[in-house]
Structure 1
Amino acid sequence: MPCTKTLLKLSFLLFSILLLAGFQAVDEDFAQKVAGQLLKYRGVFPQEKAYLHLDKPYYTVGDTLWYKGYLVEGSLHQADSASQVLYVDLIEQSTGKNIALRRTRLEGGVGHGDIVLPDSIPNGAYTIRAYTNWMRNFSEDFFFQKSIYLFGQEQNTVPATSELLDIQFFPEGGQLLTGISTRVAFKAVNGNGLGQDIDGFVLNQKKDTITSFKSEHLGLGRFQFQPEKDQKYQAYVRKKDGTFQSVSFPLSVENGFSLIVDNLSSPSKMRILVYHNFSQSAEKQVHVVGHSRGIIAFAAKGKVSAKGLMINLPKTELPDGITHLTLFDDQNKPVCERLVFIDHGNTLKVKINPSKPIYKPREKAELEIMVTDTAGNPVETNLSVAVTDEGQIAPQPYDMNLVSNLLLTSDLKGFVEQPAYYFNRDKSERKIHLDYLMMTQGWSRFKWEDVLKDSLSAPQRFVEQGITLAGQVKRNNKQISEKVMLSVFLENDSISTILTPETDATGLFAIHNLVFSDTLNFRLQGANKKGNQNLSFLMNLFEPPKAFLVKIPYYPITVDAVQLNDYLKRAEEYQEIVRKIRESRERLLKEVTIKAKKVVERDSRKLYTNADATIKVTSQMAAGAFSILDIIAARVAGVQVVGSGMNASVFIRGNRGEPLFVLDGMTGDKNMITSVNVNDVESIDVLKGASAAIYGSRGGNGVIAVYTKRGNTNYDYSQDIVPGVLSSKIAGFNIPREFYNPKYEVTRQEDARPDYRSTVFWAPMLKTGKDGKARFQYYNTDAVTKIAVQAEVLSAGGLPGSAKTVYSVQ
């Protein structure tokens, strides 16, 4: 990961802070230690963030899911080219089964692909994930994850919402202190995993009502609360049927710290309040440290008196996104944390301009996308565009986009509902609701005790820039104690090469950065013949990380019944057209009569055309034979084998002399033939009399020609089981398919069928020029409908952008 001047500047930025209640100068030793440790931690464990732009939020069986992958460096969001392999898989939520796995090749942090959704997979809720090998060093919460829904034609009912509520309370800073007034945020989620608006109250042990509360947005809310000493509290929430559900309430502590942050009152600064409930005369020295995505923003030291400590912190230099505030006590241990969101609006401005507001069915649509920065200057960017029929695909309310993912959800734990809502500047209450979210889903990508360690353990997984072939060599199934030279033969349609890697002293080996598509055949053995038969190989083939089951009946989309039925009807019509085309092609193939002789490729090892007798050697034949002559005995008329094993003699048609022996086209003697491993023999030909004349006088007593499996250029080595040799296959990068874009400017017979595609157009790899513009065109479908155009944009410097527009087809 690059360490830029900007990163270094942010790492040691200390703000001027106005303080009350005994605040002192920054403790340079502790500030430098924290900054240095964070920089060191980021150097050993740099973060990556992945994002997938999908063409739509739900699909039907038989459909194709199209995706564009973005990978960025986790701190500054610069386009990341360190990892060049992005894994994309599809998980069935009810079983945790991995339905599909795609290896996507990244160049400059972007790549694209598709997943065909066959009729054989069940309908229901799925999770699509994206991650790199490096990201597997950390929690799977770091993976990109998005829930989608797959509809079938038989069962398409919307799951009923469960009455069960999950309510959690979150004291600001992390804990309640007796005698100290603070704020408590809460979040209520229903049985489908979505926010549920609630109201309720809190009772003390005497059953007195202390306070009431009511959610304001998707089950989120906040209220003021001051716990009393020796009191326990219980919350009660009103359900839809009017009854109340009892919910446990956090316990208070008698000695500790409280951290309260006001990030809403002023656009230019935030106010940080620190309290404690130790003895009234005690002053406690504390540190407050802030960092944004692992880059330290400020560090300060002060004393908390009986009246508390207040810090006014400027926000102008803090980057957009989440800033973590941590309060360290006088032992330099973290005791309170609070997340705040900084919103300067520093994202790319994206405008989508159709050439006209209304088109006709099947008319060519021409669109232009303009991308600028906050100052209005054009920006060269990479972008992806999805065009869908809104009559079939319902726009999801405030669905995830690249901006909300990079700045918000990728740094929060768990599912965030309607994330784009918090970036909609038309919503006047969004900032306070976002502050509730910061209090209820606070999360850190690291633990301070790990960061502040003197030494850091090395990561177990590495950055991949290609496919890896790795494993371990053993001798007699035991670990070796010396290095071993290997010979690896790699082959597919585009690669044919031999490599000679060396294991380490424990037998581990790896070949990195292989770049190939589809499947690669490999054959692995020791480079030296001595002791090769005692070698065995254990391959470390890629296994996707296991997925956690979603226990709730999750239904991640919003669509009304009429619109859904229309989508399913159109999808079924399209699938029926595809089936008829396939059936028609199959019938046509059955009616074709081929009048020609079958062309059999001649074996270059043979001088003759046909043998008088041929034995195709099977594993059963080889199992009971000591030599090739044992296989021939009693299987060919006119051929006599006298004796057995290595001492056997063979005669053809009463000849007193032994026949000529040929191995893979080369003449030899009986000893050469009998030394061949019978398991390696593919076939044996016998030539008698005139048939053997092609070999001249040497064939006067007949010819026995032996052909081995390895001598055949068409032999599949992966089927060959040989001691000390491993033949197998390894999966490579998936080749993205091209999205079908019909052209209606010329009338063709195949265009006569109805066209009601739900995804009208998909362009994953567009770029803007120096003028900040990108242009594209496509043809509309037969539908009279609204067409939605969604664009996701990312600059090389890490600025994201997202935009949507709608036009009509009439």
Structure 2
Amino acid sequence: MLSCKALRTHTPVLLLLMMLSVTSGAQDFTPFVSEKLSSYRSKFPPEKVYLHMDKPYYATGDTLWFKAYLVEGAIHSADSASTVLYVDLIHQKTGKNVGIRRVPLNGGLGHGSFTLADSIPKGAYTIRAYTNWMRNFSEEYMFHRAFYLFDNVENSSVNPSNNTEITFFPESGQLVEGLNTRIAFKAIDETGRGVQVKGFVFNQDNDTVSAFKSEHLGMGRFPFTPKPGEKYHVLVKTEGADYKNVPFPVVQESGFILIVDNISSPSKMRVVVYNKDQHVSEKSVHIVGHSRGIIAFAGKGKLTAKGLMMAIPTVDLPDGITHLTLFDDQNKPVAERLVFIDHNRSLKVKVTPSKTAYRPREKTTVEIMVTDSVGKPVEANLSVSVTDAGQIAQQPNDMSIVSYLLLSSDLKGLVEQPSYYFDPANTERKIHLDYLMMTQGWRRFRWQDVMADSIAAPKHFIEQGFTLAGEVKRGNRKIADKTMLSVFLTNDSLKTFMTAETDESGIFRLDNLAFDDSLNVRLQGMNKKNTESLTFNLFPFQAPKALPVQVPFYPVTVESELLSASLKRAEEYQEIERKIRLSREKLLQAVTIKGKREVERDSRKLYSHADASIKITPQLAGGAMSVLDILGGRVAGVRVTGSGMNASVSIRNGGEPLFVMDGMPVDKDMILNLSVFDVESIDVLKGGSAAIYGGRGGNGVISVLTKRGNANYDYSQEIVPGVFTSSLAGFDRPREFYAPKYDTKRQNDARPDYRSTVYWAPQLKTGKDGIARFEYYNTDPATTIDIRTEVLSPAGEPGFARSVYVVQ
């Protein structure tokens, strides 16, 4: 046995470097693999996002509230560079994205909501969250959470059958003739949930060579040594079903076996390596361990016919998954094993209501204390959901920020009841967690990608705002040279002018545009020559495609009676809301408003009222070549003779009137050269009305007001050859959670209050004392109230806690 001592490194994440043998080979390979991992992480820095939702399932008409936590993917610090988060609402049956939210992130934190209107179908949904940077990777990297939307009637489209799928997982990946190993297995039903099974392994002579039985959520493990030349088959039985044959792993003639014991000792793991090779009896191997892409240990050992045994200290390894890889003497990965390191370093969170029992509608005060693993107060961000347990059944051992960041986010596939593995009350949780490590695959990267000589550049970039990007063509042809563009951006609170330049192929982009709601965009070429022939095409944001889910999620843990009560309450609440809205509409219809609305004065007009005014419409402009053509025959006392540049005008048979454009006197030629499509309106002042202009207005005044002269003119609506107008979607500002106060009597207090989400607070913080306090008022029913809080410190330490009290 070769034992090794860990060498502490002075880094924020307590990296550990272990040298099994101080040889030149080890010294060569260790920096090589470390540099490869470091290079991969520098080009593809990982991000993770977690959403805390107020409830596990919803009814039609509900509001889904969420808090977003975006962290750096390796050490989980809340300082990831992205500031834009996309949250999708996906109908599982069709794969249709029925809603998207663009959430602004501040320090990795944001929040928002979806209104689950009756216009969207009931059924199973997935809420998906991701940044633009996360789109460079598989969709598995994104956050996914399933929930069910009921339409106020207890129903389900999921009817699981007795079909069971069982899969066997030899430790480290393969079975090798004559080498002792262990085989883990997992049995799931059609919904992907674990089912209890038992079975037997038979050789080709139908002799029983091993028996097994699942221990936890369809998982278990048994020892196995395949004999040379023998083939095996398996019979498996689930409760209420007959035995059936299932596939068994193929036995290899040669290969490597990696066995890990991470249970027996709290301070070290024991690793045993075996190899069967007909040509070589002794070879050098490397073992590399990394924690979420950061090297944890690496070293070299001599593998003989008797195998190789080593002890690896775990005290300084970070909590979470450590990924072990065995490399052969050609530096190729030949075996892998996941282990979970649990030093219980997560934040300690305590939720304490001021009383254990309250009355309906009584004010409730709650204190949350957050400390680190040694009891010191921690300043942290947290979100709190308070629900009526009489209506909402929290799912057993459901996902939390702790279980997601440390476990589920780094594993392929569904992790059922993930919080089970973090509850010290579950005495068998560590061995069950080891079963999980053997039956779930590592999802974050492949060694083939890390070890590649070159890494392709990312297609998507880190966003700190939205991107305006598109292509410019001349007609339908590519442009020949770079082209300067003018960009005019407007919305209710923003008016700004920018410039952009295309590349040689006509592509342009403006990054980091941060705005709410939407933004009007006006694009135009800045070169005077042939700008009218330019055409524009914007590249719209395309959410990642979501495929329909064959086996939709259904909250089978909800008792029928409780679910029916919840849906009944939801329907009653929605009906009350509908009646209130209808009542408001009737009241509005009966209101009679008297008086004149004050009209904001147009600063371009010296006069208060014109004797005649013509509002220019597209129909009027389309039939005229000049402003005077529009006046002719439409205003009493105004006479227009001639046409085009030779037209003349008089008011009441007087001389030529004074021409004014946007409040400034101009000559007639400027008015004649003005495009009728640029004119907003024409005012005519006669006699005494024109006196405000003094002697110059003795023959009357023709005042032309242009569209561009209006301070409120929207350039995005202008249709001009060579000019493109469109709009961009911006941040969705979150709604505020409605929390009624019953400290004084109000008119609305007469209506019943049976909200299932009693209180939602997404932006709480603890102070230097580690304490946060909040208050709210209970609802009407006598029930049990469930308080759940998710916590994250700036250093990336997660925490979770819950508490209950009664209303009676």
Residue 680 (structure 1) aligned to one of 678, 681, 689: 678
Which residue in the other structure is 1:149 paired with?
A: 148
Residues 112-131 of structure 1 mapped to structure 2, 5 A cutoff: 112-131=111-130
- Residue 284 of structure 1: CA displacement? 2.9
Instruction: Work out whether residues 126 and 147 of structure 2, in 8 Å CA contact, stay in contact via their aligned partners in 1.
Output: yes
Aligned to 1:500, the other structure's residue is in SS state: strand
Identical-residue share of aligned pairs (%): 62
Amino acid at match of 1:597: K
- Residue 184 of structure 1: CA displacement? 2.1
**Measured at CA, do residues 317 and 658 of structure 1 come closer, stay the same or move farther in structure 2, by a change above 3 Å?**
same
- What CA distance in whole angstroms lies between the structure 1 residues aligned with 2:230 and 2:720? 75
Which residue in the other structure is 1:82 paired with?
A: 81
Which residue in the other structure is 1:273 paired with?
A: 272
**Measured at CA, do residues 7 and 158 of structure 1 come closer, stay the same or move farther in structure 2, by a change above 3 Å?**
farther
**Measured at CA, do residues 222 and 24 of structure 1 come closer, stay the same or move farther in structure 2, by a change above 3 Å?**
farther
**Measured at CA, do residues 255 and 24 of structure 1 come closer, stay the same or move farther in structure 2, by a change above 3 Å?**
farther
Instruction: Work out whether residues 198 and 237 of structure 1, in 8 Å CA contact, stay in contact via their aligned partners in 2.
Output: yes
Which ranges in structure 2 are unaligned for 5 or more consecutive residues?
A: 1-7
Residues 179-190 of structure 1 mapped to structure 2, 5 A cutoff: 179-190=178-189
Which residue in the other structure is 1:762 paired with?
A: 760
Which residue in the other structure is 1:174 paired with?
A: 173
Amino acid at match of 2:428: E
Amino acid at match of 2:214: S
Instruction: Work out whether residues 182 and 221 of structure 2, in 8 Å CA contact, stay in contact via their aligned partners in 1.
Output: yes
**Measured at CA, do residues 632 and 199 of structure 1 come closer, stay the same or move farther in structure 2, by a change above 3 Å?**
farther
Say whether residues 1:47 and 2:46 are aligned partners.
yes
Which residue in the other structure is 1:489 paired with?
A: 488
Indicate the larger mover: 77-86 or 33-42. 77-86
Residues 382-461 of structure 1 mapped to structure 2, 5 A cutoff: 382-461=381-460
- Residue 666 of structure 1: CA displacement? 3.7
Deviation per residue, 1:652-685 (Å, 9 max, x gap): 5895976655444444445433433343333445
Instruction: Work out whether residues 62 and 117 of structure 1, in 8 Å CA contact, stay in contact via their aligned partners in 2.
Output: yes
- What CA distance in whole angstroms lies between the structure 1 residues aligned with 2:634 and 2:186? 82
- What CA distance in whole angstroms lies between the structure 1 residues aligned with 2:252 and 2:633? 94
Deviation per residue, 1:693-742 (Å, 9 max, x gap): 76667667766554433233333333222223233322222222222222
- Residue 294 of structure 1: CA displacement? 0.7
**Measured at CA, do residues 54 and 202 of structure 1 come closer, stay the same or move farther in structure 2, by a change above 3 Å?**
same
Amino acid at match of 2:588: L
- Residue 765 of structure 1: CA displacement? 1.5
**Measured at CA, do residues 623 and 230 of structure 1 come closer, stay the same or move farther in structure 2, by a change above 3 Å?**
farther
Say whether residues 1:377 and 2:376 are aligned partners.
yes
Residues 556-575 of structure 1 mapped to structure 2, 5 A cutoff: 556=555, 558-575=557-574
- What CA distance in whole angstroms lies between the structure 2 residues aligned with 1:704 and 1:294? 75
Amino acid at match of 2:127: I
Aligned to 1:102, the other structure's residue is in SS state: strand
- What CA distance in whole angstroms lies between the structure 2 residues aligned with 1:212 and 1:16? 40
Which residue in the other structure is 1:335 paired with?
A: 334
- What CA distance in whole angstroms lies between the structure 2 residues aligned with 1:449 and 1:157? 43
Which residue in the other structure is 1:550 paired with?
A: 549
Residue 725 (structure 1) aligned to one of 723, 726, 742: 723
Instruction: Work out whether residues 162 and 192 of structure 1, in 8 Å CA contact, stay in contact via their aligned partners in 2.
Output: no
- What CA distance in whole angstroms lies between the structure 2 residues aligned with 1:382 and 1:49? 17
- What CA distance in whole angstroms lies between the structure 1 residues aligned with 2:434 and 2:264? 12
- What CA distance in whole angstroms lies between the structure 2 residues aligned with 1:9 and 1:782? 49
- Residue 174 of structure 1: CA displacement? 1.6
Instruction: Work out whether residues 280 and 306 of structure 1, in 8 Å CA contact, stay in contact via their aligned partners in 2.
Output: no
Deviation per residue, 1:565-599 (Å, 9 max, x gap): 11112112221222222122111111111122344
- Residue 412 of structure 1: CA displacement? 0.7
Which residue in the other structure is 1:715 paired with?
A: 713
Amino acid at match of 1:48: E
- What CA distance in whole angstroms lies between the structure 2 residues aligned with 1:159 and 1:727? 47
Which residue in the other structure is 1:351 paired with?
A: 350
Amino acid at match of 1:94: K
Which residue in the other structure is 2:785 paired with?
A: 787
Amino acid at match of 1:770: K
Amino acid at match of 2:211: S
Aligned to 1:438, the other structure's residue is in SS state: helix
Aligned to 2:331, the other structure's residue is in SS state: coil
Which residue in the other structure is 1:803 paired with?
A: 801
Amino acid at match of 2:451: L
**Measured at CA, do residues 743 and 687 of structure 1 come closer, stay the same or move farther in structure 2, by a change above 3 Å?**
closer
Deviation per residue, 1:499-553 (Å, 9 max, x gap): 3344445444433333332223333333454443233333233322222221113
- Residue 345 of structure 1: CA displacement? 0.8
Which ranges in structure 1 are unaligned for 5 or more consecutive residues?
A: none
Aligned to 1:562, the other structure's residue is in SS state: helix
Which residue in the other structure is 1:139 paired with?
A: 138
**Measured at CA, do residues 252 and 701 of structure 1 come closer, stay the same or move farther in structure 2, by a change above 3 Å?**
farther
Which residue in the other structure is 1:226 paired with?
A: 225
Aligned to 2:776, the other structure's residue is in SS state: strand
**Measured at CA, do residues 99 and 760 of structure 1 come closer, stay the same or move farther in structure 2, by a change above 3 Å?**
same
- Aligned positions, number: 801
Indicate the larger mover: 562-571 or 490-499. 490-499
- What CA distance in whole angstroms lies between the structure 1 residues aligned with 2:29 and 2:602? 78
Aligned to 2:17, the other structure's residue is in SS state: coil
Superposition TM-score, scaled by structure 2 size: 0.92
- Residue 198 of structure 1: CA displacement? 2.0
- Residue 404 of structure 1: CA displacement? 0.5
Indicate the larger mover: 703-712 or 567-576. 703-712
- What CA distance in whole angstroms lies between the structure 1 residues aligned with 2:765 and 2:701? 69
Indicate the larger mover: 339-348 or 77-86. 77-86
Aligned to 2:179, the other structure's residue is in SS state: coil
Which residue in the other structure is 1:94 paired with?
A: 93
Instruction: Work out whether residues 201 and 211 of structure 2, in 8 Å CA contact, stay in contact via their aligned partners in 1.
Output: yes
- Residue 498 of structure 1: CA displacement? 2.5
Which residue in the other structure is 2:211 paired with?
A: 212
